[in-house]
Amino acid sequence: MSVSRHWKGVLFDLDGTLADTVPLILLSYRHTMCAHLGEAPADERWLSTMGTPLRDQLRAFARSPVEAEAMLETYTTFQRRVHDEMVKPFPGACDVLGALRERGTRVGIVTSKREEVARRTLSVCGLDAQVEVLVCAEHVTRGKPDPEAVRLALEGLDLTHFANETLFVGDSPFDLRAGRAAGTLTAAVPWGACTRDTLVAESPDYVLERLEELLDSYADRSTAGASVT
């Protein structure tokens, strides 16, 4: 069964959900690993932790806390240099956010990126004017999958008491777990870092095939994991 719905709020992850940044992220990862370890482990190791804070990701590869900090500096310096030429919005992102705002839906971003680069990504993608609340890595003490960042976004949008009428859209298991723990409904997008099977295994409420589906209708929760039609 499909029922037309206007969400009170829609929260989005940024990388791999609204912004096509995975090639940039992988290039930055490989550059950093080669600079510090002499070679880059398989991309899959990095992709499996995408959605968690960058500092936490790097700690898993560093041989000491000092090296982890040096890796962070290498990664961020390299990414700043090549960011703008490699980042673009996914199809429909700009139109969907604008249409949601026109309908009165509150729109926020919950990302594990640092605020500086997150704002730069939003600007390059032309999304910044449509985002009312931006929650980044340095705004919380516990990153995704902890629900702290999602709850902070709900608070910033005056939606704390409307979590069950708010949708969190993301491309990683960590997004889906954070949204669920914060009490929102969740929608997975399979065009980012993770495979559809990986996302479906998390039992999201919805699986989107395109962002425009947010403007059409939503599936009854009994069809969890099905595409919104």
Q: Given the structure tokens 């409307």, which residue do they identify?
A: 162
Question: What count of other Cβ atoms lies within 10 Å of the Cβ of residue 28?
Answer: 24
Are 190 and 13 spatial neighbours (Cβ–Cβ below 8 Å)?
no
Q: 136-145 burial string, b = 16+ CB within 10 Å, else e?
A: bbebbeebbb
Q: What is the pLDDT of residue 217?
A: 52
Predicted pLDDT at 179 = 97
Q: Where does the pLDDT of residue 86 fall: very low under 50, low under 70, confident under 90, or very high at 90 and above?
A: very high
Q: Would you state the pLDDT for residue 51?
A: 84
* H and E: helices and strands count for the chain: 9, 10
**Catalytic residue status for 13:** yes
Give pLDDT, residue 87: 96
Task: Tell me the mean pLDDT in the region 51-79.
Answer: 94
pLDDT at 215 over 50: yes
Query: Among residues 13, 15, 20, 175, which one is catalytic?
Result: 13
Q: How far apart are CA 178 and CA 185, in angstroms?
A: 10
Q: What is the C-alpha R_g of the chain?
A: 17
Domain covering 2-21+88-223: architecture? 3-Layer(aba) Sandwich (3.40)
Residue 62: strand, helix, or coil:
coil
Residues of the chain above pLDDT 90, percent: 88
Cβ neighbours for 85, distance < 8 A, ≥ 6 positions apart: none
Residue 183 pLDDT > 50: yes
Over residues 8-51, the pLDDT tens digits come to 999 999 999 999 999 999 999 999 999 999 999 999 999 999 88
Q: How many residues does the chain have?
A: 229
| Model confidence, pTM | 0.87
Share of the chain above pLDDT 70, in %: 92
Per-residue pLDDT at 191 exceeds 90: yes
Q: What are the extents of the domains in the chain?
A: 2-21+88-223, 22-86
